[in-house]
């Protein structure tokens, strides 16, 4: 009897989108996986993969040329996981904000540079895009641990055209609609948003691809917001922020 009751209360999962039936996204997922000229590798931190608001599954259920690798750093064998028949191998970029020690160029700047030696603008050369999906703390660690392999692959560090502003409280480009996981700084976005905007800039039909991916993300947020409590600032973070804002006492 107890087993029957447990089975009754257990959430039923959709076989297609792997989400609970109450928040199934099949009605907004593309009927056919979206093809892209860009080959995408998502390095997925083990902790992030267990988060119920993780957005990487939206990408793997929507895009054809994407592979998810559960790991804390990228290895040489990961670079060759997304195979290519062309020689030489396609240019590799990895998406991460710029820093003083590791500057990045914007994705728009990279697109312009990549097209300089390619005559057919309507059919740009293929790219390999590496994305790190984790909390910002873990993502920084993953990038640092992967730097040697990225250098060997000739990977270029690129960032979105929107600048990261540490002085501004975090949000997203859909701040009024995507409020479930607040980003640490202004300009930070979720993995799905970042990939959507990146593809929007570098794919020939990028605007349409970005639109489709964002529509899936918006629907996930709409469903999920019904079951989550509003976010509240953590006291320790508020205290630390208040202390940082205090002027230094004059001796």
pLDDT classification of 229: cutoffs 50, 70, 90: low
Distance CA 217, CA 167 (A): 27
pLDDT at position 173 is: 42
pLDDT at position 141 is: 95
Distance CA 111, CA 202 (A): 6
8 A C-beta contact, residue 52 and residue 22: no
8 A C-beta contact, residue 67 and residue 81: yes
Measured in whole angstroms, the distance separating CA 11 from the mean position of its chain's CA atoms is 27
pLDDT classification of 30: cutoffs 50, 70, 90: very high
Mean pLDDT of the chain: 78
Could you tell me the pTM of the whole model? 0.78
Please give the angle made by the CA atoms of 217, 127 and 109, to the nearest 5 degrees.
85
Counting residues of the chain whose pLDDT is more than 90, the rounded percentage is 43
Q: What is the pLDDT of residues 166-176, one digit of tens each?
A: 444 444 544 44
Is there a cis peptide before residue 13, judged by omega within 30 degrees of 0?
A: no
């Amino acid at each position: 009897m107890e087993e029957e009751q447990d089975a009754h209360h257990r959430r039923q999962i959709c076989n297609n989108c792997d989400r609970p039936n109450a928040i199934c996204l099949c009605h907004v997922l593309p009927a056919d996986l979206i093809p892209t000229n860009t080959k995408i590798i998502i390095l997925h931190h083990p902790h992030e993969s267990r988060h119920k608001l993780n957005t990487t599954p939206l990408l793997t259920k929507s895009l054809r040329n994407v592979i998810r690798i559960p790991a804390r750093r990228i290895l040489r064998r990961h670079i060759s996981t997304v195979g290519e028949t062309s020689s030489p191998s396609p240019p590799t970029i990895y998406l991460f904000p710029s820093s003083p020690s590791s500057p990045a160029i914007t994705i728009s700047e990279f697109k312009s540079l990549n097209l300089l030696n390619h005559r057919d603008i309507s059919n740009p050369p293929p790219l390999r895009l590496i994305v790190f999906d984790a909390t910002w703390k873990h993502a920084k660690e993953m990038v640092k641990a992967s730097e040697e392999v990225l250098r060997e692959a000739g990977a270029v560090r690129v960032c979105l055209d929107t600048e990261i502003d540490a002085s501004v409280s975090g949000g997203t480009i859909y701040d009024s609609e995507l409020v479930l996981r607040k980003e640490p700084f202004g300009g930070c976005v979720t993995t799905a948003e970042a990939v959507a905007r990146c593809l929007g800039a570098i794919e020939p039909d990028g605007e349409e691809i970005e639109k489709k991916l964002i529509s899936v993300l918006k629907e996930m947020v709409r469903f999920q917001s019904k079951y989550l409590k509003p976010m509240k600032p953590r006291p320790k973070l508020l205290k630390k922020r208040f202390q940082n804002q205090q002027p230094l006492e004059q001796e």
